Chains A and B, each alone.
Chain A
């Protein structure tokens, strides 16, 4: 079955540094991956979508890469700020008629001032 894995350990970084979060998938080659941000007590918020034929996608301080050989996506936040502190979720398209997303459990990012 399709599986998507994110580092369950929290990532602590200093303000101004680049945060890099990892998402690994197995048993399936998704057509695309998505990244979401989730704050405590709130629903996830969509950030970026990257397709399998795209190596990299950028949006302001965010950058996502997609390596189909390594079966991995990296999510980067440059010039990180304390306001970037949140849980970041990776999701792959599950395929089939549902067009459903399969989510990882997320990685908590804490940016220290």
Chain B
């Protein structure tokens, strides 16, 4: 089934540890996005990539980095996790301007 696969589905992480959230799509979409979702704050954009080889900062990029080596993969890295990064993280992609976003099922991350 075409879509976005995120891994892991959930993780408990010690503060200060490094973590990479994985995101893979099989739809050949050029644009990909990372959002975090927190209660009362909704979905906020962390980083985006309009095409392979390019990335950009979203609304809340501090403490996160991304790479886009190819069309299919868009990993999100937390260099040194802090408790405020406890959230649900969603990866998304888009086919083009006339289309909605396709979201993954999310990664629930708890930093303790």
Contact = CB atoms under 8 A, between A and B. Distances in A.
A101 B97 contact: no
B67 interface: no
B94 A99 contact: yes
A89 B90 contact: no
A49 interface: yes
A44 B4 CA distance: 12
Interface stretch (A17-25, A72-80, A102-110): A102-110
Contact of B50 (A42, A99, A102): A99
Interface in B89-112: 90, 92, 94, 97-106
A43 interface: yes
A10 interface: no
A53 to B, nearest CB: 13
Contacts of B53: none
Binding site of B, secondary structure by majority: helix, strand, loop or mixed?
strand
On chain A, which size bracket covers the interface?
A: 20 to 34
A103 B43 CA distance: 6
A45 B92 CA distance: 10
Contacts of B99: 46, 49
B50 A44 contact: no
Contact of B48 (A34, A42, A49, A98): A98
Contacts of B97: 99
Q: What 8 pairs between A and B have smallest CB-CB spacing?
A: A46-B100, A43-B103, A105-B42, A103-B43, A103-B42, A44-B103, A43-B90, A100-B45
Interface of A: 8, 34, 36, 41-47, 49, 89, 91, 97-106
